[in-house]
Amino acid sequence: MELEKLYKKGNVARAEDGSLLLVNDDKVAYSVNEVVIMIWDVCNGISFKELVNVIASSSGEDTAQLKPALEGLINEMVEAKLIEIR
């Protein structure tokens, strides 16, 4: 996954209570927070390695600490059909 490109799928919506949702092309909605939306939003052809560096620079976190958490999140989003890896 290091060099493969990540592409967001679906769209952002709001639930009736105002909470954020990511909705895939099958119209399945997932409740998410602003950080997940930000990560999803930058997946426009960026590689996983680039994503880790972008998040590390904006958060001040170490890339070694971020990588496992981001990998888990990206894998969950791929399974949910919210990100495609090409």
- Where does residue 54 rank: exposed (0-12), middle (13-18), buried (19+ CB within 10 A)? middle
Distance, CA of 73 to CA of 43 (rounded, Å): 12
Residue 20: pLDDT band by 50, 70, 90 thresholds?
very high
State the pLDDT at residue 14: 97
Predicted structure pTM score: 0.92
CA distances in angstroms from 71 to 17, 64, 74, listed in the order given: 30, 11, 5
Residue 3: pLDDT band by 50, 70, 90 thresholds?
confident
| Residue 2 confidence (pLDDT) above 90 | no
Structural domains in the chain, CATH included, are 5-85 (1.10.10)
